[in-house]
Chain A
């Protein structure tokens, strides 16, 4: 009896170290952060000296205009960036999904930006945005146009970081969309041609709907990533001018290091985490639901045959 029990426990015994590492590496920091978000805690204190304030950090944040501004900037940034990147990436994929010579090289070139470290991307673009020696303003000058204050004008700064992000991340969507496109059933496309669909109609009625599952996942991945963007903005504008480009992760970093309010920073992180979790869960349940529906109908079909 006891022998049988110990046999059954053996696998867990072997799993235990891995489980322990996971728990420590994953759950401990999250738990720490959640706990910290209930404290009024500044970095000079030990964590057990900090005062417990319950949900005050969360409540304060909801009415904090700087946080709300930052959240709004983040949402603006993420939604604009992701929609434009989806549009460009999918459009490029549709355009380049053909067998022409040199296409492989072109595709490789397209995905280069994605492989550059974000800090470097930031530095590169900062140089190009430079008010006097930057590439853009020199080009504008050459065309006889007035220069633009890319990074120091509060209306342009957000546009500038959006452009840099699009440059870096459109390739990601491009390659995923291209892969989706190339795995579509060829014969369905042929059937559409026979059925009289023009190129546009094929894209609209056949290609896009069939790519949709991949596109939705791609979009969510990008959205999650866009909400956490930091490096490029840090290097380009550091949140300025004013709060015009202070996206959430930057605000969190500043709250922790500059304003020395660790509890508040943790609460902000948790808001972000919560938001992203809702997004992820939505994605998860969406795919589960479609899967389940397909399975159910297939079972019915088999029964009816």
Chain B
């Protein structure tokens, strides 16, 4: 359960730099989630932490002790691999107990531990099978089980739920969330599913192109994204982005574009005054629209499609030439083809610099 610190960690394959110098602190007992699109360097970060990949520059510290030269076995970690990495010649029980057997733990203890984890993962009936005789989802659970039977200080998960069906995934997510609260271990969890990230992470690290875009609690990332990439990545359905321009009018600040004109609050005005940006991108979350006209400045939309999801409905609408998603409770639905006017609170409007993508 060490505190893990990445200091200027960098990874190059030949001339290609897949991780830019990376600084990151994972507090003791924290559940950290690395999210980002495919190829952004999540697995690489995890593999460097595990010791399977050498780093090109920088250092990693466990409780202040540099560990980048240690063998994986000396780092006290357990890991779930993205491609399972099960031992093809061992049955499931042997796969799961391999680490414990190497540690020469008593047989009874090993068996008990394996049974317990296997029944938690619903694979107790598969213990005599070989990995080649399992389905993808079953293999993934075995990979998970092999890590969970270990008593390691740090657990690394590389997309451990990606191959499960929706129901099983939700169940495992709950199990993991429970486990996170129950055991006091460092967990580093890689996923590209932002729902998993939001529900599991004490802290989320959003990566893109080998660079950490932002890190913080799920709430921080949702409410205060530092740039357009993070804003677009966190939250479901994804945030709407509209091109626009800043306009001062009678001492008030507006942002206007094709088919809309929205008033910004005073806080935003002060922040934006400090920059001299003109061209901006406006971000509005689908859930920020309200059908009550008095709830903020209004935006006119034309309904194109309505996706009924039960309690809520997602409307695909058009604002000028841009698409806008609106999430409403299913009671107050307009019809397809209607022109509607929804209000948006000024606090719910994000403004990004069109060039740098930074939040203004």
Q: Are A193 and B52 in contact (CB under 8 A)?
A: yes
Partner of A188, one of B87, B126, B129, B130: B87
Q: Are B130 and A297 in contact (CB under 8 A)?
A: yes
Partner of B81, one of A187, A212, A300: A187
Q: Are A188 and B102 in contact (CB under 8 A)?
A: no
Contact string against A for B residues 184-195, beta-carbon threshold 8 Å, 1 for contact and 0 otherwise: 000000000000
Residues of B near any A CB (own CB < 8 A): 50-52, 71-73, 77-79, 81, 83-89, 98-99, 102-103, 125-126, 129-130, 132-135, 137-138, 146, 150
Q: How far is the CB of A303 from chain B (nearest CB, A)?
A: 11
Q: Are B73 and A194 in contact (CB under 8 A)?
A: yes
Q: How far is the CB of B68 from chain A (nearest CB, A)?
A: 15
Q: Are B89 and A190 in contact (CB under 8 A)?
A: no
Bound-complex Cα distance A301 to B51 (A): 34
Given contacts A297-B130, A298-B133, contact A196 B85 (CB under 8 A): no
Taking CB atoms, residues of chain B closer than 8 Å to A10 are: none
Taking CB atoms, residues of chain B closer than 8 Å to A257 are: none
Nearest chain B residue, comparing its CB with the CB of A305? B135
Q: Are B129 and A301 in contact (CB under 8 A)?
A: yes
Q: Are B50 and A301 in contact (CB under 8 A)?
A: no
A145: CB under 8 A from chain B? Answer: no
Taking CB atoms, residues of chain B closer than 8 Å to A297 are: 129-130, 133
Q: Are A195 and B102 in contact (CB under 8 A)?
A: yes
Taking CB atoms, residues of chain B closer than 8 Å to A191 are: 79, 81, 85-87, 146
Given contacts A205-B98, A298-B133, A300-B133, contact A192 B87 (CB under 8 A): yes
Complex A-B, nearest 9 residue pairs according to Cβ-Cβ distance, in ascending order: A187-B85, A195-B99, A297-B133, A191-B85, A196-B73, A301-B133, A193-B72, A305-B135, A209-B89
Taking CB atoms, residues of chain B closer than 8 Å to A195 are: 73, 78, 98-99, 102, 146, 150
11 additional A-B pairs beyond A191-B79, A193-B52, A193-B72, beta carbons within 8 Å, are A187-B84, A190-B81, A191-B81, A194-B78, A195-B150, A198-B73, A205-B102, A301-B134, A301-B135, A301-B138, A305-B137
- Summed over the interface, the residue pairs from A and B with CB atoms below 8 Å come to a total of 78
Taking CB atoms, residues of chain B closer than 8 Å to A187 are: 81, 83-85
For chain B, what secondary structure do more than half of its interface residues adopt (helix, strand, loop), or is it mixed? Answer: mixed
Contact string against B for A residues 181-215, beta-carbon threshold 8 Å, 1 for contact and 0 otherwise: 00001011011111111100100011001101000
Taking CB atoms, residues of chain A closer than 8 Å to B79 are: 191, 194
Q: Which residues A133-185 have CB closer than 8 A to chain B? A: 185
Taking CB atoms, residues of chain B closer than 8 Å to A201 are: 102
Bound-complex Cα distance A302 to B87 (A): 20
Bound-complex Cα distance A187 to B53 (A): 12
- 15 pairs of residues in contact across A and B, judged by CB atoms under 8 Å: A185-B88, A187-B81, A187-B84, A188-B85, A191-B87, A191-B146, A193-B52, A194-B50, A194-B73, A196-B73, A212-B89, A294-B132, A298-B132, A300-B133, A301-B129
Q: How far is the CB of B314 from chain A (nearest CB, A)?
A: 33
Q: How far is the CB of A213 from chain B (nearest CB, A)?
A: 10
Q: How far is the CB of B86 from chain A (nearest CB, A)?
A: 7
Taking CB atoms, residues of chain A closer than 8 Å to B150 are: 195
Q: Are B133 and A193 in contact (CB under 8 A)?
A: no
Q: Are A194 and B132 in contact (CB under 8 A)?
A: no
Q: How far is the CB of B117 from chain A (nearest CB, A)?
A: 15
Taking CB atoms, residues of chain B closer than 8 Å to A26 are: none
Q: How far is the CB of B18 from chain A (nearest CB, A)?
A: 18
Bound-complex Cα distance A305 to B52 (A): 33
Bound-complex Cα distance A210 to B131 (A): 13
A304: CB under 8 A from chain B? Answer: yes
Q: How far is the CB of B62 from chain A (nearest CB, A)?
A: 15
Bound-complex Cα distance A194 to B73 (A): 5
Q: How far is the CB of A67 from chain B (nearest CB, A)?
A: 42
Nearest chain A residue, comparing its CB with the CB of B100? A195
Partner of B135, one of A193, A198, A302: A302
Q: Are A294 and B81 in contact (CB under 8 A)?
A: no
Q: Are B89 and A210 in contact (CB under 8 A)?
A: yes
Taking CB atoms, residues of chain B closer than 8 Å to A192 are: 87, 98
Taking CB atoms, residues of chain A closer than 8 Å to B50 are: 194
Taking CB atoms, residues of chain B closer than 8 Å to A304 are: 125-126
Bound-complex Cα distance A187 to B82 (A): 10
Taking CB atoms, residues of chain B closer than 8 Å to A209 are: 89
Bound-complex Cα distance A209 to B88 (A): 10
Q: How far is the CB of B60 from chain A (nearest CB, A)?
A: 16
Bound-complex Cα distance A305 to B163 (A): 14
Q: Which residues A272-305 have CB closer than 8 A to chain B? A: 294, 297-298, 300-302, 304-305
Bound-complex Cα distance A123 to B132 (A): 50
Nearest chain A residue, comparing its CB with the CB of B143? A191
